[in-house]
Amino acid sequence: MSAQRMNRGSEQSRGKRTKFIFVTGGVVSSLGKGLSAASLGALLENRGLKITHLKLDPYINVDPGTMSPFQHGEVYVTDDGGETDLDLGHYERFSNAKMSRNNNVTTGRIYQNVINKERSGEYLGKTVQVIPHITDEIKRFMLNAAAGNDCVIVECGGTVGDIESLPFLEAIRQMKYEVGSENALYVHVTLVPYISTAHEVKTKPTQHSVMKLREIGIQADILLCRTDRPLSKEIKDKIAMFCSVEPGCVFTAADVSTIYALPLALNEEGFDDKVAEMLNIWSRAPRLEKWERIVRAIREPSRTVRIAVVGKYVEQTESYKSLNEALVHGGIANDCRVDLDYIDSSEIERLGAEALLRDADAVLVPGGFGIRGTEGKIAAVRYAREKKIPFFGICLGLQMAAIEFSRNVLGLEGANSVEFDEGTQHPVVSLMADQKEVKAKGGTMRLGAYPCVIEPGSLAYKVYGRAEISERHRHRYEVNNAYREKMTAAGLIASGVNPELGLVEMVELKSGHPYFIGCQFHPEFQSKPFAPHPLFTGFIRAGVEHRERKAHGIASQPPPVAATSSAPPPALGVNGSANGSAANGEKPADGAVPVVPVARA
């Protein structure tokens, strides 16, 4: 008997039975396994269960931190500094589960762990093989997540049939025998395409996908069929028969107008009821009123705002996934639809800021790496500052604001970041001291949550409503404190500072502008539809006000931002509790941010 199975027996004798739900995908990639898993987590959590998520990624990189945004999309950063897959962002946005570096594992990390154990002599005398050593390491990763949770939802990345994911699929096959068949469930997300020339949906791709899964030794218990239209009972019964699943275990996962409608759509299909039935989970019915309110707010806004996102990865919007969602959350808080206009900063260099930004109600410059397009971003910052258009800079966006201000207000010709010009005479953005000796690239940036103290009376303080915050970081470069005094004297103040190292965390214009703010951290990683991040709420509100002033022919003025009270109303959590706290009465996670009260138009 394996060690894992022995542990299972002792745990079950004490009454602990964590349920494992394995989500796989077939036919094609990008079917929405991550959103399906996140939605299931939301539904189970709303039944009063404590859930967590795991993501298994088959690529050999140890983590996605060194991968190009064009290939992998966004790198999602957790509080403990983990550089993880963007699906972990979906998991956190849809539930109260707190992700960490231990919620995402790759082939590279698994092999690295096994090789390190082999080198230290842990397998002394044995031949180290994929089975059992690699698969045991994967199972250990999954079993470690069981502690304290009612359900563990495990998403296996890749597509069934890919050679890269075979060790992970073999490990989840074995898990049924490690934890007991009554505690394991296999959900397969597949494609049922509509062929327009034949005027019918086709089930053969799904049949072949399930067949590939069975070749590996896994029999799907539930099928989630991605399609652009509802599937009839006749089609579902056909799929059930050919795929050897029970009638009633085939569900439509049709396209929805907003991702936040997916939990409602799956609940309407009866998906979570069937999961609870098959795993013998006794719980209350899910409470979905808050999800209904969010979807209604997205679908029926009373106004619109247009945000120009000036970046370098605009052709691959997955690179800004959390940012996009945080802007939607800000729209929810302000009862408005957010129209995003993605602008390649290189195009601003070619055509000029006026040509591309004149219709924007607000300008956002997000993070990024490398010199390409930076002059376009600097031009966008200058345009927003001089035209008094609401501006928000994130990470590199803050650094661009510091460079633009130094060049055009302080008169420091050639001011730049040493990332782009090591020989600049005015390095207003410099490499952090603890980064100067770092040679390795993977996992060596300033990563994870760090504290920040906000200047009382500043715009940042009025937006947050408090003086101490904690936000997630991912960067190597910082505003050079040697230039801080000059910037402050000229009107660009450091309104947020790290209390331990004195690093600049937030900047803003002290006066003369309606809304100009930048942050070195990534606030988008802590925004949820039920608890929009205050920086995005304030930014969208400023954009709405600017749009209304334009509509009435009123020049932009720097009106005082209405201060929040010292105890702002709590944000509604997923379960209707304050600040996203769980239904079991747990306190919200440290660093959680309150929603800013918004005056309705």
Catalytic residues: 395, 522, 524
Write the burial class of residue 6 (CB in 10 Å: 0-12 exposed, 13-18 middle, 19+ buried).
exposed
SS (H, E, C) 182-206: HHEEEEEEEECCEECCCCEECCHHH
Contact indicator for 114, 104 with CB cutoff of 8 Å: no
What would you report as the CA-atom Rg of the chain, rounded to the nearest whole angstrom? 25
- Evaluated on CA atoms 172, 173, 178, 180, the torsion sign reads positive
Tell me which residue has tokens 């296999």.
Answer: 186
Judged by DSSP in three states, 430 sits in strand
| Measured distance CA(464)–CA(519) in Å, rounded | 13
How many angstroms from the chain centroid is the CA of residue 62? 19
Q: How far apart are the first and last CA of the chain?
A: 66
Total length of the chain: 601
Helix 3-13 to helix 166-179 angle (10° resolution) is 40
Write the burial class of residue 481 (CB in 10 Å: 0-12 exposed, 13-18 middle, 19+ buried).
middle
- Evaluated on CA atoms 271, 272, 273, 279, the torsion sign reads positive
Among 298, 44, 304, which residue's Cα sits nearest to residue 150? Answer: 44
Half-sphere exposure of 596 (CA within 13 A, CB side): 31
